[in-house]
Structure 1
Amino acid sequence: MSENFIPLSKPSLQGNELKYVTEAIETEWVSTAGPFIQSFEENTADYVNSTGAVAVQNGTSGLHIALEVIGTGREDEVIVPTLTFIAAVNPVKYCGAEPVFMDCDDSLCLDPNKLEKFFEKECEFSKGILRNKATKKQIKAIVVVHVFGNMADMESILEVAEKYNLPVIEDATEAIGTYYKKGKHQGRYAGTMGTFGVFSFNGNKIMTTGGGGMIVSNDNELLAQARHLITQAKSDPLYYTHDQVGYNYRMTNLQAALGLAQLEQLESFIETKSINYSHYQEAIKKIPGLELFSFRSSIRPNYWFYAIKVQSEYGLTRRELIDSLEQEKIQARPIWDLIHHQQPYKNAQAYEIEKAPIYLNLIVNIPCSSDLSSRDVERVNVCLAKLNEPTEMGSDQY
């Protein structure tokens, strides 16, 4: 019997999704107004314990609005990681600003030590403003990405940011549900420690609205500004008076209906992902040359993506492993190529990028869907072990 295809990450739609979406259709609230939007915003804010939330089209638009609200412009620079999806960086250019690329630490997230070193050695801090010595431009903000549902070292990053009077925008698009379980920020969720946090509900995320995102903050005034900008900056919605350039970045009521049903199941998704992670871990630790990437011990992660490090002892390269799994109908993916290598950013400043290139050549993501069955996990594990086994004809036969 032919085996089924195991995708990398697909949504699980087994809750109230159909019920809520049907209600939105039957009441004809299908566009960018309707009760599900407000409910989804309120319930998300309650879940992560933030002051409020603003639903948007996607995570990218949320990051763009966050940068706009803090006043990012053409004379500014924004600190960004190079090891991330490009959507974390492009909004900097939407604002006319320039990114400055930082290395990752061993969590795959932005390295706070190099961040501080860059500020100390390459910048000038005067009258509350930090400027890049080389360009004379103001460093406007730090964008931190919580990679694969891990948590960046927020304690250290926030200390550096406070020292230099910089807002932090948390790209928590992969990390809804991740929180500190101990330490200075115990109980605080990814996305709620910076000036803004942004979540994504793309189809491959732990919970989905098909496409969609959410901005959260503990500052009501900033949230109001964000809401104003995503609704075309209408100062008078009845007579279509606009006081600045705004954006059509609103989430639809249909999407919010889907999101509300997904949010109700988020903790069960995380539980399933945690169990599957443990099953992977138990099997992979027995395979020479493979290591399942770990999460910070101080956090409860959401286990969004499972990443394995493929080292020379395994016998296959990263590319060969991905290709071999594809032949077994198992989808796997490499980590993103470094953003400062991408064509639009080849002339951007990149500071002491050392670890990111190493991880670029090691990391493979393996199936991690919110409803991934134990049978499928076992099948992936068997394939990973089988591909490590020597062939009948040794290398001396060639």
Structure 2
Amino acid sequence: MSRFSIPIYQPELAGNEKLYVNECLDTSWISSRGRFVGEFETQFAKRIDVQHAASVCNGTVALHLALLALGIGPGDEVIVPTLTYIASVNAIAYTGATPIFVDSLLDTWQIDPEDVRRHISPRTRAIMPVHLYGQACDMEALMQIAQEHRLFVIEDCAEAFGTYYKGRHVGTFGDISTFSFFGNKTITTGEGGMVVSNDKTLIERSRHLKGQGLAAHREYWHDVVGYNYRMTNIQAAIGLAQLEQASRFIERKRAIAAQYATKLAKLPVQTHQEAAGTIHSYWMCSILVERAEQRDALRAHLADAGIETRPLFYPAHTMPMHSKNYRKHPVAEDLAWRGINLPSFPALTDAQIDTVCASIASFYQHGR
């Protein structure tokens, strides 16, 4: 039982989830075959306006598959923002390639295109933009860089379902893109992910690899070393039911973010803003405190009031396994040390938002 009366996140499962899962149980289609797998893939692709989608068992393996489909491996370098969840970086390491960390932009918190340019080398094969916390990266600038240097682009959209850049859903710009459906994502399958692309060959390679490398036209014949990365029919059933409610979820999350922005406007905190030309899906509603030393004190104050929060991700270049060639990424470090994620789930009530904001206000009223 959580000690928090207002959790950081909780899934909303009030649609057809139980009905669809019961159909899986009643028909015995509980593994990676069944009608919901294909239907979820089709409807997801339609929702974001991409041609092909392949479901997988989680978001991390989606990234691994995307990299493998592009042939990324030992000796290659992949440019990735240091301010990201570690899965982005781990997936690069799984292939034997080297993650090359770059800094973020202070205004959007997203990967800095000019720092990407500075880090391109003869070994660079790809750029991995991460649409952090639901805000879109500057895909126009990144795609221009990729075209100039003949680089692949893998969009990590784990946190960005419902996010748009200049009228297009993120995940439709790069060569191949990935999504996560973990329990705290905007739509969830419990665990799960999706690989998407407008390139049929890349999706066919992803499907081949995710199913143990099974040959298409010869039973139990495997022609490559593959993986068991398949999504189950039960997961897909939950995902389809979630997808049916997605517009409502995103609308509510944007309304929650707007309320935080208004109610915290007179306090010495900065809310994560929507960049021009984008639609921020606000997977998480986040704030920056003025000074890094205030961050943990404010989180402790909120915890005492029964409000759960999370810090922003630690920059990956500061972690032991990636700090051998340590270099400063000052913007990412500044954001990470000052950032807090606030409760932002769709069922969060207006009264609960008021409680969170009042607690933040009381922290500053005491001269913290």
TM-score between both structures, scaled by the size of structure 2:
0.96
1:118 CA displacement: 2.8
2:307 corresponds to which of 330, 355, 364: 330
* C-alpha displacement of 1:343: 1.4
Specify the alignment match of 1:12 in structure 2: 12
Q: Rg bigger for which structure? A: 1
Task: Tell me the equivalent position of 2:41.
Answer: 41
Q: Does residue 259 of structure 1 match 2:236?
A: no
SS in structure 2 of the partner of residue 330 of structure 1 = coil
Structure 1 runs of 4+ with >6 Å offset? none
Superposed CA offset, 1:32-70 (max 9, x none): 111100000000000000001000011100000010011
- After superposition, the Cα gap between the structure-2 partners of 1:65 and 1:4, relative to the gap in structure 1 and judged at 3 Å, is closer
2:289 aligned to which of 310, 315, 319: 310
Correspondence for 2:330: 354
- In the alignment, the residues of structure 1 paired with residue 202 and residue 301 of structure 2 have an alpha-carbon distance, to the nearest angstrom, of 49
In the other structure, the counterpart of 2:67 is: 67
2:203 pairs with one of 198, 223, 226: 223
Q: Which amino acid aligns with 2:193?
A: G
Question: Are residues 330 and 237 of structure 1, via their aligned partners in 2, closer, same or farther at CA, if it must alter by over 3 Å?
Answer: farther
Question: Is the aligned partner of 1:295 residue 2:274?
Answer: yes
Partner of 1:160: 145
Q: Report how far residue 89 of structure 1 moved.
A: 0.5
Would the aligned equivalents of 1:102 and 1:353 in 2 still touch at CA under 8 Å?
A: yes
Structure 2 residue matching 1:240: 3-state secondary structure: coil
Q: Is the 8 A contact 1:173 1:200 kept in 2?
A: yes
Deviation at 1:279, TM superposition (A): 1.0
Does the 8 Å CA contact 1:99/1:348 hold for their aligned counterparts?
no
Show CA shifts across 1:200-224 (max 9, x none).
0001111100000001100111111
Amino acid of the structure 1 residue aligned with 2:119: F
Is 1:150 the counterpart of 2:127? The answer is no
Q: Which amino acid aligns with 1:60?
A: T
Calculate the aligned-residue CA RMSD, in Å: 1.6
d(CA) in 2 for partners of 1:252 and 1:88? 23
Pairwise CA distance, 1:187: 2.4
Contact 1:101 1:349 in 2 (8 A): no
**1:240 to partner: Cα distance:** 1.2
Q: Which residue of 1 aligns with 2:172?
A: 192
Deviation at 1:11, TM superposition (A): 0.5
User: Does structure 2 retain, via aligned residues, the 8 Å contact 1:205–1:304?
Assistant: yes
SS, match of residue 291 in structure 1:
strand
Alignment of 1:387-398 (within 5 A): 387-390=363-366
For residues 239 and 64 of structure 1, do their structure 2 counterparts lie closer, same or farther at Cα, with a shift above 3 Å needed? same
Match of 1:271 among 245, 251, 255: 251
Q: What's the secondary structure of 2:74's corresponding residue?
A: coil
| Cα distance in 2 for residues equivalent to 1:43 and 1:236 | 24
Counterpart of 2:125 in structure 1 is 140
- Give the match's secondary structure for 2:119: helix
- Give CA deviations for 1:91-117 in whole Å, capped at 9, x if unaligned: 111111111111111211110011113
Whole-Å separation in 2 of the counterparts to 1:83 and 1:342? 11
5+ unaligned residues in a row in structure 1: which ranges?
124-130, 132-137, 181-185
Taking the aligned partners of 1:349 and 1:255, their CA distance within structure 2 comes to: 40
Q: Contact conserved, 1:98 with 1:348, CA < 8 A, in 2? A: no
Using the TM superposition, name which of 370-379 and 150-159 deviates more.
Answer: 370-379
Aligned length: 365
Tell me if structure 1 keeps the 8 A contact 2:58–2:193: yes
Q: Which moved more, 1:231-240 or 1:208-217?
A: 231-240
What is the identity, as a one-letter code, of the residue corresponding to 1:92?
I
Q: Please state how far the C-alpha of 1:238 moved relative to its aligned partner.
A: 5.5
Distance 1:100 1:222 in 2: 24
